[in-house]
């Protein structure tokens, strides 16, 4: 016992951290190999033995490309027990397929709650100057972003109005005015994610409403130069 205690004391915090990370990584890889159908072939050459160092564990992970994920069924990427996907799942959402084939995202309740919490914090760090937020979400609710943005901005002193199903831009503008929205959540330019900021501004110009709105660009697509002012 004393020899073990002394050997542990001799380890630096960095070495202990490396051991902890290696153990966690190999445990995760072992779980994936045993329970995730798509991972069995991907991880077939990985050492799943305990005691490997972190660098060895990292280097043993094969390169996994987007094409490999796309070649598998979404269900084969989920962990299984006794041949059935482990649940329950709180939500399933699709990506828009802007750059390739649309992908499936399955959320546990914990994952969903965390995603919503991150978006809530991000929104309100940018909207701190508005005492009562009434947001209009112009994103498609079938897209992964739509429901997360809606849940992320909703709260005790805020609400989110989702764009109506099959609303055109003129109808969406009427919904914004009717609900007295003061924040607009929308992709800046044309995508499959939902109605765009550009289209709504054009509808607003045609209607001549001149209603002040604060637009939040929630995606990675930069705002067109003409919108930045």
Q: Residues 46-73: pLDDT tens digits?
A: 665 555 666 776 777 778 787 887 788 8
**For 36-41, what is the mean pLDDT?**
83
Is residue 99, in this structure, part of any structural domain at all? no
Is residue 102, in this structure, part of any structural domain at all? no
Choice between 28 and 173, residue whose per-residue pLDDT is larger:
173
* Backbone phi, psi, residue 96, to 5°: -80, -15
**For 4-16, what is the mean pLDDT?**
44
Query: pTM surpassing 0.75?
Result: no
The last residue of one of the domains, among 52, 71, 86, is 86
Residue 225 has a pLDDT of 56
Question: Alpha-carbon distance 60 to 123, whole Å?
Answer: 39
pLDDT at 208 > cutoff 80 = no
Residue 6 has a pLDDT of 35
Residue 98 has a pLDDT of 64
Residue 196 has a pLDDT of 78
The last residue of one of the domains, among 86, 120, 145, is 86
Tell me the range of 35-44, 45-54, 167-176, 186-195 where mean pLDDT is highest: 167-176
Residue 183 has a pLDDT of 87
Assign 5 a pLDDT band (cuts: 50, 70, 90): very low
Choice between 186 and 190, residue whose per-residue pLDDT is larger:
186
CATH at 134: 3.40.50.980
Residue 117 has a pLDDT of 92
Considering the domain architecture, whether residues 66 and 136 belong to the same structural domain is answered as no
Average pLDDT of the chain, as a whole number: 75
pLDDT at 45 > cutoff 50 = yes
Considering the domain architecture, whether residues 35 and 76 belong to the same structural domain is answered as yes
**194: containing domain:** 112-227
Considering the domain architecture, whether residues 135 and 35 belong to the same structural domain is answered as no
Is residue 153, in this structure, part of any structural domain at all? yes
Residue 18 has a pLDDT of 58
Considering the domain architecture, whether residues 34 and 138 belong to the same structural domain is answered as no
Choice between 28 and 99, residue whose per-residue pLDDT is larger:
28
How would DSSP label each residue in the chain?
A: -HHHHHHHHHS-HHHHHHHHHHHHHHHHHHHHHHH-HHHHHHTTTS---TT--HHHHHHHSPP--HHHHHTS-GGGGS-EETTEE----SEEEE---SSSS--EEEE-HHHHHHHHHHHHHHHHHH-TT-SSEEEEE-B-TTBSHHHHHHHHH-BTTEEEEEPPTT--HHHHHHHHHHTT--EEE--SS--SSB--HHHHHHHHHHHT-----EEE--SSSPPPGGG--
Give the relative orientation of helices 197-207 and 169-178 as an angle to the nearest 10 degrees.
80
Question: Alpha-carbon distance 148 to 23, whole Å?
Answer: 33
For 115-164, how does the pLDDT look when each residue is reduced to its tens digit (9 = 90+)? Answer: 899 989 888 888 877 888 999 998 888 788 888 889 999 888 899 999 88
Query: Which residues are CB-contacts of 54 (< 8 A; sequence separation ≥ 6)?
Result: 18, 19, 21, 22, 25
**For 168-182, what is the mean pLDDT?**
88
21-30, 58-67, 171-180, 209-218: lowest mean pLDDT where? 209-218
The last residue of one of the domains, among 42, 69, 86, is 86
Residue 162 has a pLDDT of 92
Cβ–Cβ < 8 Å for 189, 201: no
Is residue 6, in this structure, part of any structural domain at all? yes
């Amino acid at each position: 016992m004393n020899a073990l205690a002394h050997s542990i004391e001799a380890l630096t915090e960095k070495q202990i951290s490396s051991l902890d990370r290696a153990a966690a990584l190999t445990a995760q890889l072992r779980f994936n190999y045993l329970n995730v159908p798509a991972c069995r072939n991907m991880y077939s050459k990985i050492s799943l033995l305990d005691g490997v160092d972190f660098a060895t564990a990292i280097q043993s992970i094969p390169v996994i490309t987007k094409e490999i994920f796309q070649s598998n069924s979404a269900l084969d990427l989920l962990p299984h027990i006794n041949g059935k996907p482990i649940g329950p799942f709180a939500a399933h959402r699709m990506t828009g397929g802007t750059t390739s084939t649309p992908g499936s995202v399955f959320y546990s309740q914990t994952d969903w709650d965390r995603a919503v919490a991150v978006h809530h914090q991000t929104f309100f760090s940018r909207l701190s100057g508005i005492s009562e937020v009434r947001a209009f979400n112009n994103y498609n609710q079938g897209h992964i972003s739509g429901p997360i943005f809606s849940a992320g901005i909703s709260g005790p002193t805020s609400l989110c109005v989702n764009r109506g199903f099959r609303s055109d831009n003129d109808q969406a503008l009427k919904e914004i005015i009717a609900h007295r929205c003061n924040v607009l959540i929308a992709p800046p330019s044309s995508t499959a994610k939902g109605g765009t900021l550009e289209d709504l501004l054009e509808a607003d110009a045609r209607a001549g409403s001149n209603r002040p709105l604060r637009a939040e660009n929630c995606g990675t697509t930069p705002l067109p130069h003409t919108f930045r002012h």
